[in-house]
Chain A
């Protein structure tokens, strides 16, 4: 797809680290959380990055495309407006549900991997796509629990979703690692099953092992095991982009720079 090729290595732009993101070497693209931006007054830092020619990709967390309810078109409209404001080639959200039964979980919850859930998800995604000005990429989430009676593996479920909606995939290797640790997903099988030619880009994030549970916190350092999953992915396909997500407990500029360098080293290893 034109425009999404070769994003390079990027980082999630957050207002707390805006100056850091601006001065870090080797930030080829950034992602902004769409819900945090207001059309009409983009943060100065985002404008500055755009002026420098750094691609800015909106990432949504609240469409709740896996919800049984209809998609909230106001949220879709906002995401589309952010995409236009930053001239983004693509937007993204997650394969998850956030709200159900009048409650808000405040989190990206996994959907059951059943035919029912897939039918609803496909309908929601198609409606969102019709109301978005640019292509939509969907991301695999980290789950702490497994729905009973799943009919498909996670990879098969995503492959079906792509097949039926023509959406793009945003593969989060930290979530894949988390699911491997917590619910026994096989990362290699996952990577075998998803259509890698529809890979938009990749997320990398840090987390923390707590007892027998791995928590995808985005507030800790990236584990070497997560980079190994990235390595596995890169051995199959050259990802158009890889982006580091850090949402809290921001470390020093040097530490962030070295995490980006470690990601770049993995990507470069497979380019030759």
Chain B
């Protein structure tokens, strides 16, 4: 499936970029975008996606194959994205990204993490007088580190996204989603999709204040069907929302 060399410098496939930017929902959107781009599926004005009949399929990813197989009967645009995001194939993709150390188990940040840090530092200073408190300092600093949380993207994952731009319409969807904007039009419009269809997808969650993820590096928004955001992730949508209180970014690289 994914080119093994991708992690070593060459660009990742769009679907993986989509996953790293905003999770399985976005990866599903990207897979659908690629199928549209290749003319293998079509969308009607009322938002029904159908497989194009008798075409050379070319090389497909597992998620793309999943989508096509399930399009024996036309399905709604949003349902196609949601079902692909929740598919076993998407979980496999998630595991592959984990195995290649582009993502990791994310931990939500505890609001009071700094209290542990403060205690740790305090005990550390106290250790100058009472050496046994060093154990307490280490313990508190450890808990502080843990409750600080972890973003789902590893350093390698962030590096893989560096320099990726919306140079074609599939990448535009990977980075911004069908609802996202590229210049003055939505990425969906690049595929000739009417707004009524694009708006079937859930709205991108606005970047929350205090979210430190920069553009393209916020990483792995939605936890739909997989667990990149730990137990706090919600599965409310196929888009890019993430469970409350997590550190895994507002999803979607915060374009708008």
Residues of A within 8 A of B (CB): 15-20, 23, 43-45, 249-254
Contacts and interface: CB of A to CB of B under 8 A. Distances in A.
- Which of B45, B54, B55, B74 counts the most chain A CB atoms within 10 A? B45
Interface of B: 39, 42-46, 48, 50, 52-55, 74, 192-194
Contact of A251 (B48, B53, B192, B194): B53
Contacts of A253: 39, 42
Contacts of A254: 39
A251 B55 contact: yes
The secondary structure that dominates the B interface is loop
A184 to B, nearest CB: 31
A252 B39 contact: yes
A15 B44 CA distance: 7
Contacts of A15: 44-46, 48
A253 B41 CA distance: 10
A166 B196 CA distance: 45
Contact of B55 (A17, A19, A252): A252
Contact of A250 (B42, B45, B46): B42
Nearest to A253: B39
A45 B42 CA distance: 15
A145 B193 CA distance: 45
B200 to A, nearest CB: 15
Nearest to A15: B44
Given A251-B55, A252-B52, A252-B55, A17 B44 contact: yes
A250 B192 contact: no
A17 B46 CA distance: 10
Contacts of B192: 19, 23
A45 B53 contact: no
A250 B46 CA distance: 16
Nearest to B74: A16
User: Which 7 A-B residue pairings sit nearest by Cβ, starting from the closest?
Assistant: A249-B53, A252-B39, A252-B52, A18-B45, A251-B53, A45-B45, A18-B44
Contacts of A18: 44-45
A236 to B, nearest CB: 34
B52 A250 contact: yes
B45 A43 contact: yes
Given A16-B74, A20-B42, A250-B50, 10 more contacts: A15-B48, A18-B44, A19-B193, A250-B42, A250-B52, A250-B53, A251-B52, A251-B55, A252-B39, A254-B39
Nearest to A46: B45
A16 B50 contact: yes
Contacts of B54: 249, 251
A246 to B, nearest CB: 10
A252 B40 CA distance: 7
Nearest to B52: A252
Given A250-B53, A251-B53, A17 B42 contact: yes
A19 B46 CA distance: 10
